[in-house]
Amino acid sequence: MITRRTLLKNSVLAASAFALPLEAVGARAKKIRIGLIADIHKDLVPDADERLRSFIDRMNEESVDAVMQLGDFCTPKPANQAFLDIFNGFRGPRYHVLGNHDTDGGFTREKTMAFWGMKRRYDSFDLGGYHFIVLDANDRPKDWKGGYPMSLAADQLEWLRKDLEGTRLNTFVFSHQSLERPDCITNQDEVRAILEAAKTTDGKRKVAGCFNGHWHIDHSRVIGGIPYIHVNSASYYYMGGVRNDSVDPELGKKFPILTMSANYDGPLYTVLEIDPTAGTFALRGMESKWRGMSPQEIAPARKKEEDTWARPSITAGQWTVV
Ligand SMILES: [Fe+2]
């Protein structure tokens, strides 16, 4: 029998379901946690396995809901199998994002994906009442002249638009390269316009936040209401064109990247925690220290904007979902 009280209760429920996507209602009380690690660079550093193991052990201990690596992970060489096995040791869903270095040595994206067990270059999934989109920003733009291509081709843009249209859920977007650094994804304006245009049924923005690696910096910025958040590298801050003399010469010969970088002593990784009750999401902080010289010691006179955000740490942050 429908009493006035039930009616009232039902209409309140209907109203809240309207404001918050239906699928999220059931999962409202439960926080979602996704472990994130970026730019480990197995092919370039000597201790990638230990860094990855530290992440996976911790994520297993905490029983997070999923883990994701944000690219520049490893090429599909048989020698990297043991490294990949560490990642696959996570007891739960594991997600991959393709980085520009993951095809170094002439490998195709398909070859790398097959090695990792990644089904699609760009993809989306739902978890705990939220939608998650993984992009592949390694497409060649029409005017590509060489070097690492950094764009989303027309087919991927069209897919992105439709995928966002097709979900009622607040959405988190992941890419290796950045959608906010001016000198990065070449058609980032177009991508951001698609993200900004996506609205939930109540007219609010659908995209809660975007995460990326690639730059090895500790930085975030809001554009058009959407936060773009860098997840710092697990391993080092690349400086290029300068020399880190604090690296052991023998080690530097074997791993030249160390001499071109300011290196992190311990690994860096983080946890994205989404709190449906509070309507917020947070990134967990983590600190290491420089192993040897800092960027300031390596190049005291250098004026590069990204150096401002060069830190052996991930700063904790909190943002609202809408
Ligand atoms: Fe990269």
pLDDT (tens digit per residue) in 296-317: 999 999 999 999 999 999 999 9
Distance between Cα 150 and ligand 1 center (Å): 10
Distance between Cα 184 and ligand 1 center (Å): 10
**pLDDT-derived band at 193, boundaries 50, 70, 90:** very high
Residues listed for the chain: 322
pLDDT per residue as tens digits for the range 210-241: 999 999 999 999 999 999 999 999 999 999 99
Distance between Cα 177 and ligand 1 center (Å): 7
Burial 190-201 (b: 16+ CB within 10 A, else e): ebbebbeebebe
In a domain, 246, yes or no: yes
Distance between Cα 146 and ligand 1 center (Å): 16
Q: Does this model's pTM top 0.85? A: yes
In a domain, 13, yes or no: no
Helix axes 48-62, 81-88, angle to 10 degrees: 10
In a domain, 218, yes or no: yes
Alpha helix (H) ranges present in 97-248?
Answer: 109-116, 154-165, 188-197
257: three-class secondary structure by DSSP:
helix
Distance between Cα 248 and ligand 1 center (Å): 25
Return d(Cα 288, Cα 270) in angstroms, integer: 12
Distance between Cα 140 and ligand 1 center (Å): 15
In a domain, 150, yes or no: yes
Return d(Cα 169, Cα 132) in angstroms, integer: 9
Which residues, in sequence order, are CB contacts of 162 under 8 Å at separation 6+?
Answer: none
In a domain, 6, yes or no: no
Distance between Cα 215 and ligand 1 center (Å): 7
Distance between Cα 10 and ligand 1 center (Å): 50
Distance between Cα 70 and ligand 1 center (Å): 9
Which residues, in sequence order, are CB contacts of 88 under 8 Å at separation 6+?
Answer: 94, 117
pLDDT per residue as tens digits for the range 43-95: 999 999 999 999 999 999 999 999 999 999 999 999 999 999 999 999 999 99
Q: Which tokens is 239 given?
A: 């400086």
Task: Give residue for tokens 């029409």.
Answer: 142
Asked if residues 227 and 209 have their Cβ atoms less than 8 Å apart, the reply is yes
pLDDT per residue as tens digits for the range 2-50: 444 443 344 333 333 334 444 444 545 799 999 999 999 999 999 999 9
Look at the chain and report how many structural domains it folds into. 1
In a domain, 20, yes or no: no
Residue 252 belongs to a domain with what CATH number? 3.60.21.10
In a domain, 151, yes or no: yes
Dihedral sign for Cα 213, 98, 160, 188, please. Answer: positive
Q: Which tokens is 237 given?
A: 């801050």
pLDDT of residue 28: 55
Domain that holds residue 101: 31-320
In a domain, 19, yes or no: no
Q: Is 128 left (phi over 0), alpha (psi -120 to 50) or beta?
A: left
Name the more confident of 116 and 25.
Answer: 116
Distance between Cα 277 and ligand 1 center (Å): 35
- Which DSSP symbol is given to 258? G
Distance between Cα 265 and ligand 1 center (Å): 20
Burial 14-25 (b: 16+ CB within 10 A, else e): eeeeeebbebbe
Q: What is the Rg, in whole angstroms, of the alpha carbon atoms belonging to the chain?
A: 21
